[in-house]
Structure 1
Amino acid sequence: MTLPIPPQRSADLWILRQPPLGTCTGELDLTELDAAEQSRAGTCRREAGRLLYSSAHVGLRRLLSAYLGTDPRSLRLGRDTCPCCDEPHGRPVLDSPDAPLHFSLSHSNGMALIGIAPVPIGVDVEKVPTAETVRVCTPALHPREQGEVAAERQDAVAFGQLWTRKEAYLKGLGTGLGRPLSVDYLGADPTLRPAAWKVIDVPCGPQHVAAAALYGTARARVRVHWLAMECLYKHNPEALDHERSLLTELAA
């Protein structure tokens, strides 16, 4: 089973919503994860966190294997060099010099978002923040963004959407939060955002906000899909063929 690699100036986004604990009808195949991923899953103290981490990473590997036509266990994932310090903790990458795909993964409070593209990409999903989070985090933003938050009267959804745009962009750069939040503008005016990146808000339901950042394209076409939990169970390798339902398509 294979999926077509997204063409230039486009990306595929996959949203995975974790079912309530105790309602899963199958078992994840954790043998598809490498030793580091299995160890990280084992350190999650709460069952919900362990399930989300495991399903997100199994989902990432199954998707990459479907695009590349290979076994999930054969994939070697690594890190690019960080633009801030040249250390190997930048963007996650396929450990292959001729890999045709870039990817990004984010998960938070019962939801995961996976981005697949032929160019560098960053994605972020977050639960809608509390008013206290908005208050504490706003001073770290770009001055123009701070003004927008004030004008919105610290609206939590608007702030959360801004925050995911910023994190998606920083993940795409490969710096993460190692780059100061105040440097780049990712606010409501697209014309003032970094010119080399297209940053898009991603609809994902009332309790979460999400965004994707795609490098080097003046016009990006992003297809957003739901990834069903059943696609990730053991002995169900072909489920992705049947569960790949198109949610929406975004053009920007």
Structure 2
Amino acid sequence: MLRSRIIPCLLVSDGGLVKTQRFGEPKYVGDPINAVKIFNEKEADELVVLDIDATSQGRQPDFTMISQLAVECRMPLCYGGGITTREQAKRIVGLGVEKISLSAAAIANPALVTEIADEVGSQSVVVVLDVKKPVFGKEFDVYTHNGSKKVRGGLNSLIAEFERRGAGELVINSIDRDGMMKGYDLNLAEHVRATTRLPVTILGGAGSLEDIGALIDRCGLIGAAAGSLFVFKGNYRAVLINYPNPIQKDEIVLRGK
């Protein structure tokens, strides 16, 4: 039976686990390998790890770190950051990573999505679109390089392009909601869910399990990803790796059926 997925998203910078707010103010929160071990114990549905510096620094993926993550991880793992060639993607999948995440490289060269899909399978190709509400107009703007470069073309056209190119999944990341823990942008999520046939994961804004439930209520079968929710606890944002227990998770994911 297909179920909505609840997905921790870990951001890595200089080898450490960090958390941002609106793509700025990165706060060190620990070691990514230790976090993976805890999410193993908590039986997370899936794990996304994004190296937020690789693209902006113009460097290739950290294959040593990726190998360590893949060896430790007992759940499906998606890795993104610095992937610009099909050879890199093939190498990463060979290390035991189930999904490859592309963003700036895919937008700069949409044919790369097809090349990697032909190499490792469409089911392993995820395109991440970082979006922000425009000052004027209705359609969301898309950005790359940690939200510093605005992309030509709107969200809808990019979704259609990557669906045509053979992407297997889309992750829509709200820059406005990143790290704010005030709830997902449900209108954005509903719009994207209605725009594409691809599996969709929404990231940015979750501050409670109720926020995840609201997303699934609105959109049905969907991926609900979160960062701060699963690494912070309480009003003072104390660092504590957490994840819903099996009963809580079942109550949430079955709501969208």
TM-score by length of 1: 0.33
Higher relative contact order (CA 8 A, sep 6+): 1
Which one has a bigger Cα radius of gyration?
A: 1
